A and B are shown apart, each in its own frame.
Chain A
């Protein structure tokens, strides 16, 4: 099976501290990969590097089997269009309605007629599981769950092959979080979308992901399914999975 993402020897530095050092990761086409790790281990930063929004200090990121580290900004554009990103806070444009938000990428990158663009935006809104009346709401009028769905809908606008989600279920009620899990699974199975999600929600990780990459000590320590990962020998990983909440989540799955 081919790798949609292949990260090789990636290093990330901010002024004083190093976030990633010689990090390797492969994501298979068509899978759902989770990324976990303690707070501040650089999950969001890694995601923005995959989304080509931040360049690595060293190393190479292959996307769709294409090296990206030395590409010009212009050459990155067509690759970015194949990737949808849902940011941690949703990041909807606050002066546009939900429908207009979904229209933005379509208007920017296609020459479709206005009517078709709006109809396609409406389709994405429904695919993301939003009710009809959300279309003309402003982002600040939406609940947390609806906001995340709207962000997913916008990320889906151009029918990307790869969808990156940063903590999709953070701050959601259990019903909303479960619905979002189902949405991710159905996007993966019906649209053959590859999903990479950063999450702390262990229930969601058990339910949704095929494999999970554990970030720690500036590297990816292990990539495996949840079952294997939760029995890992590594001390950091054991710590992460050996608390009561993690056990409870596991028990619910088995």
Chain B
């Protein structure tokens, strides 16, 4: 009874193997073996006779399995094929159980524990950072001005176009949406309060922080994580250099310097966007708008926004650097760690914003 191209069962229940048994043809052979290797067909096989042209190790593995299934030795292999067959037989080993695959309860427990561990790591890092900062303040000569300037350049100067553009659009959108409502009451002039309050107090600091977290927080993490994987951090330590002083503090200081400035820029750009829409849609002229801002909007709102941005800067630099140091594994983990860093810093920025709202309401600012 012919089974297929590669297997053949004769009337005396001898299983003949034929053709080229190698990796390229192995998929066909596997299907044929699978299709025909159920007991009713082949239970009674008495001999396995190989008359094959090729046998590589992958095919030999299948042959070994076939022979084990019938508990027979193959006949008719050439000397070389026999060698390959023996080699494969000598290297059989079941795939060990993967201990990394935790049972679901353990995974669940691990998942619950992870935020706590993260919080602990953040606190520990905060401690290290504060300690390094204290040291730095005692020895101001050790401040790395060059590194701080490079952070100011990369995280600050180069972010100016994107932040101006986005805040401008933001201001315009708020003015437009708010203006539609105000128009129905004929209260056009209140557009000034609407735009400046939302922007100065809430949106400008927030959007700036989010952009900087995405632009620079991620870059901090990627830089430090890559260095960590390449053992550069340990090399620094062995040379007596402090990674905190070289990698972390300049970023923290640079960002604390630059984020309030960017926030002020966002304030200005946002107001400009609001002003333009106010003119076009609500007939509020630029001079009216600009006069009304200082009259009705207390400078406190501006200061609240700026003071928040200091905290945001700290959060972004803190999370960005910390996640870089906590990288584990190979090149692929840099990407994962960067994602984690951005998500975490944006989350914490918004959380901090909410806490500030409560705090400032409480303080009646």
Contact = CB atoms under 8 A, between A and B. Distances in A.
A110 interface: yes
B99 A136 contact: yes
B80 to A, nearest CB: 7
B88 interface: yes
B330 A112 contact: no
Interface string A75-109: 00000000000000000011100010000000000
Given A159-B23, A159-B58, A112 B91 contact: no
A123 B332 contact: no
Interface in B98-149: 98-100
Interface residues of A, number: 31
A99 B93 CA distance: 13
B95 A133 contact: no
Interface string A110-140: 1111001011101111110000110110111
Interface in B307-359: 329-333
A227 B121 CA distance: 60
B93 A126 contact: yes
B293 to A, nearest CB: 53
Contacts of A93: 332
Given A135-B95, A136-B99, A140-B329, A191 B84 contact: yes
B95 A122 contact: yes
Contact of B93 (A94, A122, A158): A122
A187 to B, nearest CB: 10
Contact of B100 (A123, A136, A191): A136
Q: Identify which of B56, B94, B99 gathers the most chain A CB atoms within 10 Å of its CB.
A: B56
A126 B92 contact: yes
B84 to A, nearest CB: 7
A242 B210 CA distance: 64
Interface residues of B, number: 32
Nearest to B334: A94
A143 B330 CA distance: 13
A120 B93 CA distance: 10
A112 B95 contact: no
Given A159-B56, A190-B84, A139 B330 contact: yes
Interface in A136-156: 136, 138-140, 156
Interface of B: 22-24, 26-27, 30, 34, 56-58, 61-62, 80, 83-84, 87-88, 91-96, 98-100, 229, 329-333
27 contacts: A94-B330, A94-B332, A94-B333, A99-B95, A110-B24, A110-B27, A112-B26, A113-B30, A116-B30, A122-B93, A122-B94, A122-B95, A123-B93, A124-B57, A125-B93, A126-B92, A126-B93, A135-B98, A136-B99, A138-B329, A138-B330, A159-B22, A190-B83, A190-B84, A191-B56, A191-B57, A191-B87
